Amino acid sequence: MKKKELRRLPVDIALPQRVLLENGTMFAAFENLEDLEVFWLANRFPFACESAESAEGQAVFLRPGEWVFGPSKAAVVKTAMRWDEWGIRCEYQNYGNDEFIDGWLADLTIDRSKRIANGTWTEGDELKYTRRSSKQFPGCWRLTNLPNGFDAEDWLTNDFNVEGTLDDPRTPIGQVVTALQEATFDDWGEHNSQVLSFYDQYGVDRCIDYLREEAALGYAYP
């Protein structure tokens, strides 16, 4: 993937340390595991994310040891990615031709048949399939002005097309943005993003438990 030529990255846009921001999020950088443990004991936010990148790599959103905590999935994504400061936007992309749509629907039908056969197709999946196969909305909302060469086509997996929101051009833009931010949290969290790791409270607890095990083996954090 060809990367854009940029002067800076979102990680270079400074966030205030341990200050509650307007959207209820808080950025914190931890020098060691004990610092993280003490903070988490006093500030159990519902959601959080941390850098998933190694110290040797080029950080995009957060550096190792940096976290963002917040009251909602969307708020955490917005702050960690400097969504507004960077200028990430949403636009509706029309697929443009019936041939493309027909091919996409053919793939969707094949997937439906396979999942029905192995018993993983749900009633919700069928409702989505019926809506999509109607060709009511021949397009979808997508992100633009993504940093570091990220491709809007690869930002989310197909499983995270938020039904009734990302395919309907009439959806209010604020609702689209929130849906895409929430989908980013869920999608990247489920598919083990190499850039950011996303957690609920239980996930943070498990992460800290893992870091304790690593510390017992002699590995320092971050």
- Residue 152 pLDDT more than 60? yes
> Which residues lie across from 66 on neighbouring strands?
29
Residue 203 confidence (pLDDT): 97
Query: Rounded to an integer, what distance in angstroms lies between the CA atom of residue 142 and that of residue 152?
Result: 6
Give residue 162's pLDDT: 61
Percent of the chain at pLDDT > 90 equals 56
More confident residue, 133 or 106: 106
Show me where the domains of the chain are located: 10-86+192-216, 89-182
CB 140 within 8 A of CB 93: yes
Region 107-125: mean pLDDT is 85
| H or E element, residue 67 | strand 66-70
Mean per-residue pLDDT of the chain: 86
Contacts (Cβ under 8 Å, ≥6 apart) of 70: 23, 24, 25, 26, 45, 46, 47, 48, 76, 79
- Range scoring the smallest mean pLDDT among 70-74, 109-113, 134-138: 134-138
How many CB atoms sit inside 10 A of residue 191's CB? Answer: 12
The pLDDT score that the predictor gives to residue 112 is 86
Distance CA 189, CA 132 (A): 26
Whole-prediction pTM = 0.80
What is the spatial distance between Cα 182 and Cα 81, in angstroms, rounded to a whole number?
Answer: 13
Q: What is the mean pLDDT of residues 156-167?
A: 66
**Predicted pLDDT at 202:** 98
Beta bridge partners of 142: 91
pLDDT value at residue 55? 59
Q: pLDDT per residue over 3-52, tens digit each?
A: 444 458 999 999 999 999 999 999 999 999 999 999 999 999 999 999 99
Predicted local distance difference test score (pLDDT) of residue 157? 78
Residue 77's Cβ-count burial label (10 Å; 0-12, 13-18, 19+) is buried
Angle between helices 73-80 and 173-190 (to 10 degrees): 90
pLDDT over 70 at 137, yes or no: no
Q: What is the pLDDT of residue 81?
A: 97
Q: What is the mean pLDDT of residues 147-163?
A: 74
- For residues 147 and 12, is the Cβ–Cβ distance under 8 A? no
Buried-exposed string 103-132: b where 16+ CB fall within 10 A, e elsewhere: eebeeeeeebeeeeeeeebeeeeeebbeeb
Class of residue 196 by CB neighbours under 10 A (exposed 0-12, middle 13-18, buried 19+): buried
pLDDT-derived band at 193, boundaries 50, 70, 90: confident
Query: Which pLDDT band holds residue 138 (cuts at 50, 70, 90)?
Result: low
**What pLDDT, in 10s, does the model give residues 60-100?**
999 999 999 999 999 999 999 999 999 999 998 876 555 65
Tell which wins on pLDDT, 105 or 12: 12
